Amino acid sequence: MAMNNNTFRVLELYSGIGGMHFALQESNIPHEVVTAIDINPVANKIYSYNFPHTNLLETGIEGLTADWLDRLDFNMVLMSPPCQPFTRVGKRLDTKDSRTRSFLHFLDCLQKMKCPPSLMLLENVKGFEVSETRHLFLKTLKACNYKYQEFIFTPLQFGIPNSRSRYYLVAKKYPGKFYFDLTDELQEELPACSKQWLHHIEPSEDCGETTCLSQDKDINCLLTCKTEKEEIRDFLDYYNKYSTILHQEEFENGISYPNCKALKGFLETNQSKEYYDQFLMPEKYFSLFVILDIVCPHLRKSVCFTKRYGHYIEGAGSMIQMSTDGQSVKDAYDLKMKTQQLKNRKQWSEEEFDVVRKLKLRFFTPREIANLLCFPHTFDFPPETTLRQKYRVLGNSLNVHVVAVLIKLLNQDSNLML
């Protein structure tokens, strides 16, 4: 295999908006993406906008052949196959879902290649680990003489305040070896050698109590503001007492992650009031606030953002509360308790609507979700991309930092194989 200065030649399958490519950049390993492949035209426009010099093919993977893959001369493959056949909100048709065919075709090609890649990384939704597709994947890896390790990780473990549990697999072809102990069991703890790369982790003592959550008692400022320290402390006293019913607990599967950064570090700043106003939650959704995950900038957790976010409310992602008025939090707490007891979300008075209105709830902006997914500040959308398209592709994307750490883990002493 032809190599140049120990540079990895990478094939990016299901390339989407470039999450894997950005993870490669963050990992700092020497690399060249020889080809990226995706069939989604909206995602491809965003990918090309950010990586204009990468060879991007808008085609189905079912059309690839082993000979064509061999001619690409790549030694690393990164891929995130369609998750819909395995997600909990789908029908879980698994191998019977037409969207699985392309991945199964790639597995067939892999077995026929004369020079299969030395390194492999796959990301998918939690649920893939119990699928027949995963069983066929592992069977193929064993037949092709790969060693591998499976993981389930959430970004919360990496210091990122977003719950997004995903399945990951890293594989090396013999004679490559890993520098941590492999097990047939699916792991939920990071290998000790990878913890040196977790630069988002911070001391839990940083409670963020001086964080200013509003500007001129409005919606915009998210910067540290010592002059309002007493006001914010009073607000947090209210918030900590009454907000537990408004947002999900700081736990994930019974585990607390106190070393996550606060959400405020991922939010946009210095935007105009008019800019934020476009993300305010429409009043037609106010009665649904009882089923929402409502967070404020000092918290260290948000729920997973899905492709439905922005135009769908239930189960699509967290809403952010921009009011710093403690009484409004208590009133919202009382209203939610009352609504749950009466099981009434349809016959509200104007006074009840005003309780929700005072919370100043808004959607996270696309840039803020991209920040939580650890896309770099250089990432951007083509001007013609609609708001709905932005939310949709971000909901289908991956966490860049998590993948970057796994690429580093995969790369340990891999230069011995080049």
Q: For residues 50 and 142, state if they share a domain.
A: yes
Does the predicted model carry a pTM greater than 0.85? yes
Q: For residues 137 and 16, state if they share a domain.
A: yes
d(Cα 264, Cα 364) in Å, to the nearest integer?
11
Q: For residues 136 and 242, state if they share a domain.
A: no
pLDDT at residue 340 tops 70 = yes
Closest CA to 18 of 357, 389, 386, 375: 375
In a domain, 117, yes or no: yes
- 386 CA to centre of own chain: 20
In a domain, 389, yes or no: no
Instruction: Return phi, psi of residue 302, to 5°.
Output: -135, 155
d(Cα 5, Cα 30) in Å, to the nearest integer?
9
In a domain, 392, yes or no: no
Contact assessment for residue 119 and residue 410, using Cβ atoms and an 8 Å cutoff? yes
Q: For residues 259 and 344, state if they share a domain.
A: yes
List the domain range (segments joined by +) for residue 13: 8-201+398-411
In a domain, 326, yes or no: yes
CATH number at residue 329: 3.90.120.10
d(Cα 190, Cα 259) in Å, to the nearest integer?
15
CATH number at residue 28: 3.40.50.150
Structure confidence by residue, pLDDT tens digits, 47-103: 999 999 999 999 999 999 999 999 999 999 999 987 675 566 656 666 666 677 899
Q: For residues 47 and 112, state if they share a domain.
A: yes
Q: For residues 192 and 104, state if they share a domain.
A: yes
DSSP codes joined into one string, 264-322: GGGS--S--HHHHHTTBPPGGGGGGGGGS-EE-TT-S--PPP-TTBTTB-TTS--EEE-
Number of domains in the chain: 2
Closest CA to 321 of 242, 397, 204: 242
Neighbours of 227 (CB within 10 A): 8
Q: For residues 84 and 13, state if they share a domain.
A: yes
pLDDT for residue 98: 60
Which of the residues 83, 260, 296, 374 is marked catalytic?
Answer: 83
Tell me the CB-side half-sphere exposure of residue 111, using CA atoms within 13 A. 13
Close Cβ partners of 157 (under 8 Å, ≥ 6 residues apart): 190, 257
Q: Which tokens in the block code for residue 55?
A: 């060879």
Cα-based torsion angle of the residue sequence 7, 24, 11, 383 in order, rounded to the nearest 10 degrees: -130
The bridge status of strand 119-125 relative to strand 8-13 is unpaired
Q: For residues 165 and 269, state if they share a domain.
A: no
Q: For residues 348 and 404, state if they share a domain.
A: no
In a domain, 274, yes or no: yes
Q: For residues 121 and 247, state if they share a domain.
A: no
Cα-based torsion angle of the residue sequence 19, 21, 25, 27 in order, rounded to the nearest 10 degrees: 70
pLDDT at residue 14 tops 80 = yes
**What is the arithmetic mean of pLDDT over 356-365?**
94
Residue 144 designated active-site: no
The single-letter DSSP state of residue 156 is G
Q: For residues 294 and 181, state if they share a domain.
A: no
pLDDT for residue 86: 55
pLDDT at residue 383 tops 60 = yes
pLDDT at residue 205 tops 60 = no
Contact assessment for residue 266 and residue 161, using Cβ atoms and an 8 Å cutoff? yes
In a domain, 103, yes or no: yes
In a domain, 180, yes or no: yes
Q: For residues 252 and 303, state if they share a domain.
A: yes
In a domain, 147, yes or no: yes
